[in-house]
Chains A and B, each alone.
Chain A
Amino acid sequence: MPGVSSVPDAAGRFGDFGGRFVPETLSRALDELVVEYEAAKQDAEFTAEFDELLRTYVGRPSPLYHARRLSDACGGAQIYLKREDTNHTGAHKINNTLGQALLTRRMGKRRVIAETGAGQHGVATATACARFGLECVVYMGSEDIRRQKPNVFSMKLLGAEVRPVTSGSRTLRDAINDAMRDWMSSVETTHYILGSVVGPHPFPVIVRDFQSVIGREAIEQSRDQIGRLPDVVVACVGGGSNAAGMFYPFVEHQDVELVGVEAGGRSDQPGDHASPLTYGAPGVLHGSYSYVMQDEDGQTSDVHSISAGLDYPGVGPEHSYWKASGRVSYTTCRDDAALEAFDKLAKCEGILPALESSHAVAHAMKIARERRPDEAIVVCLSGRGDKDAFEIARLRGEQLE
């Protein structure tokens, strides 16, 4: 396959995928963002400030942890967890929001908007905005607001305004629509901090780059702790930002197998899962050409996942590119397997993983059993599971105060 640096091209294309399919009103802002981001990347002061924030504010590097009891319980390969759950705000999302908040300040904009599904990106954006004194509005589907009350309250405590979205399916996809609409009217003064590697060019590149600290650290830590690179790297894929950040630095290391895990939901029937790379087809959603769940007329399909962060009908264009080139393989993990992995990690290692990350853990447990004990699997533990306590209690029929 072509070198990693060859994508995307100037039009934001990763092979056939990506691009920019948005109303003309946004063209200038996206062009300016390309220029501003390229300049920021070359600016030593910018990167130094970002690195310093990651170190002293986020708490990086996040540990690479050898989950020995979990590995033993599986009885095969060694499982290592890249602990993004130990970050400030409890997930990988903060890496991106701090980077984009720095960009916002650099562009002289004072207002930030964001979308959120589970609320992790919303909290991470509200946090970054508080840190930089930026006004922050977070769009969130009213259905997700109901499911994720603690995160909604946290955002308010951090000074953000949470705007409920009552159109469509009232979830992440509709929150992105409303954030885009806000941006159409406010683009001169406002930056949109998109939370995943989706959307029009240059968002998929910007978010991937800010998240790729995950993979860079994992490479260094693997060399230190395992003495070599891992045999397999596993990450969950909704929009795909933690996976993109983890995989991107590994792409050039051809011996390392990369596996993305989509939300398999209840079944492989339409509407029962959120696995566009596995069951969907290429199409345009939210400004980018990539795999998507659509009906035969091009209407976006309803999707389902137990995890709000994976409950999205599209996926970042670079993942579609990696699928097409064969560099990354994509599979699915069902709701029940994710819950089982959640339970196993909690009991074996004393770690409550996010339901999103539990999908990756479940797949790692499955393949660990089929591999030799001297093989190593690194899993991106993208976030912590405290936020899911209420949802898991509800599924078990338990009442929490």
Chain B
Amino acid sequence: MSKIDECFAKLRAEGKKAFVPFITAGDPDLATTEALIRELASRGASICEVGIPYSDPIADGPVIQASYTRALDAGVKLADIFAMLKRASAEVDIPLLTMVSYSIVLRHGPQQYVDDAVAAGVSGLIVPDLPVDESSALASICRKADLGLVHLVTPTTPKERAVRIARASTGFLYYVSVAGITGERRELPAELVENVRWLAAQTDVPVCIGFGISTPEHVRQLSPVADGLIVGSAIVRRVGESGAGEATVKAVGEYVAELLAAYA
């Protein structure tokens, strides 16, 4: 049982839903990222997703792409990110995941990436550009290391395929709320609730919803439907606006407190 499985088992036993924030490693610097992980954990985040900056992130919208560019321009390296994650995972109780492009995993070597992630105390991976059809080699490495490999289902995924993806996903299953890229949205699609209910019925793996969630109203609407909610761009935008250090930690801390207050 991975740390993510334990986390969801505990939440389910308590009748609670997960809050999964996303931040970009090294935006604007790794010290701020580390402080943010501590802040998010202390505010009540269940799991923290840490984005590994990539030069060509095709799944991400302008906000997260800009954060990747800021981090890379500041010279962040994978080795330094793992060192930061190692410090952070020793300080907080919640599982940490890396959201990482397969380009980076492959260049680093899949086995080496998983070894380094485990050594850094990371509990799972999301590889958004690795479809289930191409994932068996990495999945087998992750399985041996007891590392979650979270797959994504989208509104364009045919149902049979969604079932196959749900079965392959470990830790949790990421339901992408909209066909498109990451980013905040005022309106979420009407069929979202129905789609998630259907998906949750197909699998025992917890289902979390991400892409576009940014307001307490979204949280009130969706937290009853899924096992957890993922919030990325809305947090990353605040980091981008506030800069390094305390100001960012405070801005993000206050924002996630608002979201957490909206959980039923």
Contacts and interface: CB of A to CB of B under 8 A. Distances in A.
Interface of A: 11, 19-29, 167-168, 173-174, 177, 180-181, 184-185, 187-188, 283-287, 289, 294, 296-300
A20 B55 contact: no
B233 to A, nearest CB: 13
Given A173-B56, A181-B58, A298 B108 contact: yes
Contact of A27 (B72, B101, B156): B156
A215 B59 CA distance: 36
Contact of B152 (A20, A23, A185): A23
B250 interface: no
Nearest to A183: B58
Interface string B66-88: 10010010000110000000000
Nearest to B127: A21
Contacts of B78: 297-298
Contacts of A286: 56, 58
Nearest to A23: B59
A23 B129 contact: yes
21 contacts: A19-B134, A21-B131, A23-B129, A24-B131, A24-B165, A25-B156, A27-B131, A27-B133, A27-B161, A29-B156, A168-B69, A173-B56, A184-B181, A185-B179, A284-B106, A284-B129, A286-B58, A289-B106, A297-B77, A298-B108, A299-B55
Given A23-B59, A24-B165, A296-B107, 9 more contacts: A24-B154, A28-B161, A167-B65, A168-B69, A185-B179, A284-B103, A289-B106, A297-B77, A300-B103
B104 interface: yes
A286 B101 CA distance: 11
A11 B72 contact: no
Interface in B153-187: 153-154, 156-158, 161, 165, 176, 178-181
**Closest 4 pairs between A and B when the two form their complex, measured CB to CB:** A298-B107, A185-B180, A298-B104, A23-B59
Contacts of B56: 168, 173-174, 177, 285-286, 300
A223 B151 CA distance: 54
Contacts of B157: 24, 27-28
Nearest to B100: A298
A297 B108 contact: yes
Given A20-B134, A287-B129, A184 B58 contact: yes
Contacts of A187: 156, 179
B8 interface: no
Nearest to A300: B55
Contact of B131 (A22, A168, A177, A299): A22
Contacts of A185: 178-181
Contacts, number: 118
A29 B154 CA distance: 12
Interface in B110-147: 128-134
B58 A23 contact: yes
Contacts of B255: none
B245 interface: no
Contact of A21 (B54, B134, B152, B161): B134
A299 B55 CA distance: 5
Q: Which of B55, B105, B108, B131 has the most CB of A within 10 A?
A: B55
B216 interface: no
Contacts of A296: 107
A382 B254 CA distance: 58
Contacts of A20: 131, 133-134
Contacts of B107: 283, 294, 296-298
Contacts of A177: 56-58
Nearest to A314: B56
Contacts of B103: 21, 283-285, 294, 298, 300
A177 B64 CA distance: 14
B61 interface: yes
A11 B165 contact: no
A286 B58 CA distance: 8
